Amino acid sequence: MKISKINEMSSPELEKELAELKTELFKLRFSLATNGLENPMKIKEVKKDIARIKTVLKQRELAAKA
């Protein structure tokens, strides 16, 4: 997911997307442990998307306080 797309989303949408990505990460890790993945780099991509969303949410929280 591109940062420009993340910046366009509202905070509730970002929180919903964050929950979905965490669920996806859990499923990917479970799949990796049980039978392997076709694309193990997908885990890395999902983790980076989670970090991007958390960063944007934190920036918005700090901007609201200022």
What architecture is domain 3-65? Orthogonal Bundle (1.10)
| Residue with the two structure tokens 């780099």 | 41
Whether the predicted model's global pTM rises above the 0.85 cut: yes
According to the model, what pLDDT value does residue 37 have? 87
Q: Cα(11)–Cα(32) distance, rounded to whole angstroms?
A: 31
Q: Where are the domains of the chain?
A: 3-65
What average pLDDT does the structure give for the chain? 94
Answer for the pair 47, 21: CB distance below 8 angstroms, yes or no.
no
